[in-house]
Structure 1
Amino acid sequence: MKLSFQLAYKNLIGAGLRTWLNVAVLSFAFVIIIFFNGVIDGWNQQARIEGVKWEYGHGQLLNENYDPFDPFSMQDGHGILPKEAAGNLTPILIRQATIYPEGRMVSVVLKGIDADQSVLELPTKLLQASDAEIPVIIGKRMAASANLKVGDQVLMRWRDGNGTFDAANITVAGIFDTDVGSVDNGQIWMAISKLWDMTGLDGHATMFVASEGYEHKLIQGWKFDSQEELLSELSKIIEMKKTSSSIMYVLLLAIALLAIFDTQVLSIFRRQKEIGTYVALGMTRMQVVGLFTVEGSMYSLFAMVVGCLYGIPFFIYMANTGIAIPAPTQEMGVTIGERIFPAFGAGLVFGTTLLVVISATIVSFLPTRRIAKMDPVTALKGKLI
């Protein structure tokens, strides 16, 4: 086996430019596969962390009449949770409302939350610090779309618990920056105690966000979604993105492997006398097949080395600086930051390396099967196989 590696190494180095062209193409495919998978994994990690910090907490307890995907369920989808079951839960009351910035009519989702809460990253302390009559906080995207800034007042209309319309001026007490569009776009946050007074729904909540110490028990009229269930939609998006990106990986890898396959076919055709000499010197046909297979698989090993030379600095740079994401992309409702920082885990690198090495070995073996059928005397004469 040692002899096979030595001969394969000398043959590849002796091939010169042909070898390094194959190595360059294969190393490029290797680096690109790791990079794009790293970007998707980085996006997944960031989105999950931000989703838990800003929206999901450690799970959500929803009223059975409330459907997050049905805005018409907001009117009646609320209730009072028994006090003995309310431990480690932060209440949120959700109502529909309309604001009128600069004479425009903008539909919004009005959410009341405990101003003392610490489960979510929302800066609800600003609601306590404000001396406005009805202080609210909004996200930067909401502020941009409504052209509002801290200290601005705007007229808001809402319905109380009986369905009667009411209106008053609200004051923007703070603007927060988050990557989670579902707590920003079209959302207005205020103290739940103030919303109770405005709607007459004292003690009511549409949903509760669980803190770390919460242990769920079955509660009639309420349904619990765990953290993993809430993140499942994001996981499906990530998996779909990985599947669609795999088409590009397959094409890149196929181009590189096709170059190796062609090189192997040409090598066997041109080195018939060499093959016949190996057999005449006592090597079995399978040993010669192994020699040429090792030679082809060494392209992948060279590609690993070359890929590391320019890939590692590139990966380090991208992991530190990230990739800028256009602003319109962040308004699609999917959790995505202004910059995505790729995550290059050991599993990703090892798995990609294994894929490239195995693929190169298989492709190198396929043309060499003809060696096992050849006649050594014919090969020594240099005749076609």
Structure 2
Amino acid sequence: MTDSGSEDLSNEPPIIFYKHRPEWDDVTPVPQDDGPNPIVAIAYSELFQDVHDYFRAVLKSGEKSERALQLTDDALDLNPANYTVWQYRREILKHLEKDLQEELTYVRGVIERNAKNYQVWHHRRVIVEWLQDPSHELELTEAILSRDDKNYHAWEHRQWVIRTFKLYDNELEYVDRLLTEDIRNNSAWNQRYFVLNNTSNFPADIIDREILYTIAKIKKVTNNESAWNYLRGVLERSDYGICENSVVKQFCEDLYASGNRSPYLLGFMVEMCEEQIEKGAGDSFYNLEQAVRLCDSLAKEYDTVRKEYWNYIARCLTNKRNSHCNNGSSKALIEEMNSAASDGTIVTSVDE
């Protein structure tokens, strides 16, 4: 929006302030009340003040009209995160019995300009619920994700619409395309798990298929944390945990024997050792001595940023009576480490 006092460099006509519009003469604007002594007064532009003063007046009077709807357009153009404006817009839409397909077109435009705005996506969801029509949602989210494949709001909306309207059929194909484009796309790996978790409950044949699928991806990029996390998640849905699948064990052993020292491979093998130790079934490869060696390698060479963490895990595995290690706490800490690696934070110490 450009105000009427600025030079118009576009083909659009200049914005006329509401206070200068004859059709709004019957409305007394309501200024924002920040109290007598605001600590940090925000320097709103004249245009922002004008639009919101009139919006407050309409909200106060309860007017639900075409001009009030247009007023919400202007208010949301200035601040698309304003929940009150969106809520009142929905009340106007219902009152005027507006064409909600047109509203979907409108809100798509707002989303395309503000794709990381929660309130915009929430409004979209409400309109879809009112219409009970999800026919545009997968295409919309795919378009947004093609620009930013980590957009949380788009993924959340996509999962909501798939779950609500049972649109699972072609989602694995879409996910596979994303992983072909970017094998490290953590959001796509998460979506794959979401689909299978909601459609299959991971029977043995699906687990076997997903193990082979994930191993094939890991072979392409062994330093891909997302794939290792997915493999762990699939194995944890099995009856035998992460250390009893012969295909996975052989894959890890072969990868290790080839000289690969991905920290995600080594960390995964530490977990396999721990699971065997807890079962009292350590073998010639997955045992306490191997776990300590792996932790030492991680701490000193392959994951030095988490040196203290790996030293701690080695101590826990050596002394299972340590209070920090009871009830599978080291597995919980491994999950914490994975989370930390994803969001950029660093686990430096876990000692009390």
The interval holding the TM-score normalised by the smaller chain is under 0.3
Q: TM-score, normalised by structure 1?
A: 0.21
Higher relative contact order (CA 8 A, sep 6+): 1
Point out the structure with the larger helix share: 2
Point out the structure with the larger strand share: 1
